[in-house]
Amino acid sequence: MRSELHTIRRPQLWVVYAVTVLSTAAYMISFNYLAAFLTDVTRIPGVWVPAILTLFGVGAFIGLSIGGRIADRLPAHALLAGALGIAACSVLLAVLARHASAVVPLVLLLGVAGFVLNPAVYGRVFAIASQAPTLAGATTVSAFQLGISLVPVLAGAALDAGAEITAIPWLGAGLAAATTVPVLLDWMLSRRRD
C-alpha cells in the first residue's frame, strides 16, 4: 500500500487525471442534454430520440476500437484527436442545431471522439503508475465520475443564468479546448523522460 501511495503522487499522473476529468465532462455535457436539444431545438420527434442516443453508443464503440488500436503506439495523438474531435463536434452541434441532417451524424461522431480517448487515458495511467495498478486504476475511474458530476453543475449554472440549451454544446467545446492543455503537458513530460 505504501508503494502505491508513493507512486500515485507523481505529478504527471495527475495531469492525465485532469485530461480524464475535462474530456469526460466535455462530451457528457452535450450527451446529457441531448434529448432536450433534439426535441426543443432540432425539432426531432421524441419517438426518434432513443435511436439517436443509440448512435452515440455506436460511436462510442467505434471510438474505443480506434483508440485501442492507436493508444499504445501514439497515446498523445489519440488524446489530442479525441479532445479536438469533441471540440469540433460540439461547435458544429451548436452552430447547426436546427438542421437534423447535420445533428444526427454529429451525435455519432461525438461518441467516436469522446471514447477514442479512453484507451489512451488508461494506457497513460498504467504506463506512469505501473507500480500502483490498483490505486491508479481506481483513481482513474473516480476521475471519470468526477467529470460526469461536473456536468449538471456547469450546465445547471448556465441554464439558471438564462442561457438557452444551445449553450450546452459551447460549454462542451470549451471543456474540450481546455483538455488540450493537460494533453500537451503530458506529451511534453513524456518526451522529456524518454
The domains located in the chain, with CATH, are 10-183 (1.20.1250.20)
How does pLDDT run across 42-70, given as a tens digit for each residue?
A: 999 999 999 999 999 999 999 999 999 99
Vertex 97 angle, CA 64 and 104, to 5°: 40
How does pLDDT run across 105-144, given as a tens digit for each residue?
A: 999 999 999 999 999 999 999 999 888 888 888 999 999 9
pTM: 0.93
Looking at residue 179, its pLDDT comes to 98
Between CA 89 and CA 85 the distance in angstroms is 6
- Residue listed under C-alpha cell 462542451: 172
Between CA 54 and CA 188 the distance in angstroms is 37
